[in-house]
């Protein structure tokens, strides 16, 4: 079955020294060569919304999904110009209650504090042809909180983003990669047409659109490893959950 890698990024910035999750930082230079490599190989980078017809088998082509978790400001300042240069689109999963603030959910856990895009910056991201999705309202642990609270996190973030940005929000990303049968049902019932996980695999045609796996891009990825993750079963053999 045809594989369709969905790349998962967080920060596009130099990694902080000795902080937990610093591997999730991809240097702007690395992000630039990764996008250039995709382009040279004839791939088109697409937001998850744009990828759906390929995942459903309705369209064919050399495509790769590009996704950013949490909505960091550096996605706007560093990644956006590169995406535009190559004519790619990408999805950014926003924590709707923290726009213009920082990754407060991780503060106190030896994770670098990092600013998130503000409302005007998200508007510019959208005006540039990029896409946004929901990553809940407060970066909640959906499987640990009461189902009624989980439902609110999932539904209210969608309504909030739709009202703020006057665009449909159809894509979701599970915080901490945590999901179960109940959260999948809540996400589907809320009207999201896709949801991405942190399961390490290349997606493929016919996959369940509410539990899409992704390819992890970390700061240590070299060009040969990047290619192996995209083109071979490398990622499929290194399954693990990630924050």
Judged by the rule CB under 5 A, the positions of this chain that interact with Zn ion are 69-70, 175
Tell me whether residue 63 or residue 198 sits nearer to Zn ion (CB atom).
198
Tell me whether residue 38 or residue 169 sits nearer to Zn ion (CB atom).
169
Least distance to Zn ion, CB of residue 240, Å: 16
Burial 206-236 (b: 16+ CB within 10 A, else e): ebebbbbbbbbbbeebeeeebeebbeeebbe
Q: Take residue 154 and report the two structure tokens written for it.
A: 């999932």
Please name the residues in contact with 146: beta carbons below 8 A apart, sequence gap of 6 or more: none
Chain Cα centroid distance, residue 185: 20
Tell me whether residue 70 or residue 78 sits nearer to Zn ion (CB atom).
70
Q: Report long-range pairs for 102-108 (Cβ below 8 Å, ≥24 apart).
A: 103/70, 103/72, 103/139, 105/138, 105/139, 105/175, 106/21, 106/139
Least distance to Zn ion, CB of residue 139, Å: 6
Please name the residues in contact with 176: beta carbons below 8 A apart, sequence gap of 6 or more: 141, 198, 243
Least distance to Zn ion, CB of residue 78, Å: 18
Tell me whether residue 24 or residue 221 sits nearer to Zn ion (CB atom).
24
What kind and span of H or E run contains 69?
A: strand 63-70
Least distance to Zn ion, CB of residue 75, Å: 12
- Give the residue among 76, 91, 64 at the shortest CA–CA distance from 193: 91
Cα separation values, 158 from 70, 90, 163, 168, Å: 15, 18, 9, 8
Least distance to Zn ion, CB of residue 176, Å: 7
Tell me whether residue 63 or residue 194 sits nearer to Zn ion (CB atom).
194
Least distance to Zn ion, CB of residue 166, Å: 24
Tell me whether residue 69 or residue 207 sits nearer to Zn ion (CB atom).
69
């Amino acid at each position: 079955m045809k594989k369709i890698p969905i790349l998962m990024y967080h920060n596009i910035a130099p990694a902080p020294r000795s902080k937990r999750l610093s591997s999730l930082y991809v240097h702007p230079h690395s992000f630039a060569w990764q996008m250039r490599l995709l382009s040279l190989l004839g791939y088109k980078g697409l937001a998850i919304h744009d990828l759906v017809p390929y995942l459903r088998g309705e369209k064919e082509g050399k495509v790769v999904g590009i996704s950013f978790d949490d909505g960091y400001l550096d996605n706007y300042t560093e990644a956006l110009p590169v995406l535009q240069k190559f004519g790619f689109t990408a999805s950014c999963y926003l924590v709707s209650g923290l726009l213009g603030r920082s990754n407060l959910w991780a503060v106190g856990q030896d994770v670098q504090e990092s600013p998130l895009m503000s409302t005007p910056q998200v508007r510019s991201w959208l005006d540039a042809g990029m896409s946004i999705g929901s990553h809940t309202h407060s970066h909640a642990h959906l499987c640990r909180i009461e189902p009624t609270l989980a439902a609110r996190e999932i539904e209210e973030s969608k309504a909030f983003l739709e009202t703020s940005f006057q665009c449909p929000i159809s894509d979701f990303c599970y915080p901490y990669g945590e999901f179960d049968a109940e959260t999948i049902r809540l996400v589907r019932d809320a009207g999201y047409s896709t949801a991405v996980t942190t399961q390490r695999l290349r997606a493929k045609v016919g996959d369940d659109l509410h539990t899409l796996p992704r390819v992890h891009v970390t700061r240590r990825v070299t060009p040969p490893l990047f290619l192996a993750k995209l083109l071979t079963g490398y990622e499929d053999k290194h399954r693990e959950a990630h924050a």
